[in-house]
Amino acid sequence: MEARFNYYGTATGQKFSKHINSAGRAAEGSGVPSATVHLVLLRVSQINGCGMCTDMHYKDAVHAGEQPERLNLVAAWRDATAFTDAERAALELAEEGTRIADAAGGVSDEVWANAAKHYDEEQLAGLVSTIAVINAYNRMNVITRVPAGSYRPGQW
């Protein structure tokens, strides 16, 4: 598989990437545990079918010390005992926030209330920001068909 074109090699792609990277960094320091952020990034990328981001976030999570066994269960988190209640709430928020078109009304009040039981407002802002940014990256990579498999942790 080859990319349709080198989006990131264009002036517009570089400028947009710079700004979206800055937006992604805004969530840093929100208090969301980094392990949770890795799980959310991976799950959203799986839902959107972004091979590039799935590859990158799996490898980055392992590099950061996450257990591959847990990462292998992210797609089936509802049926896995490997996740805390707080991680489950973040994954559920990430799924509904990603599948907005599939759920009438977007994120349900129940899902939001569950997330709010585990995260304060700063952390919720961090989760929402993380979900929004990874959805944007997934869409850029899926539209341009960026291939997966060659990412190395710390590459970007």
Q: Please tell me the predicted confidence (pLDDT) of residue 102.
A: 80
As a CATH number, domain 7-144 is 1.20.1290.10
- CA–CA distance, 33 with 31 (Å, rounded to integer): 6
Q: What is the pTM of this model?
A: 0.95
- CA–CA distance, 60 with 11 (Å, rounded to integer): 27
Amino acid at 83: F
pLDDT of 103 above 80:
no
- CA–CA distance, 122 with 117 (Å, rounded to integer): 13
| pLDDT tens digit sequence for 18-38 | 999 999 998 999 999 999 999
More confident residue, 133 or 26: 133
Q: Are 125 and 23 in contact (CB under 8 A)?
A: no
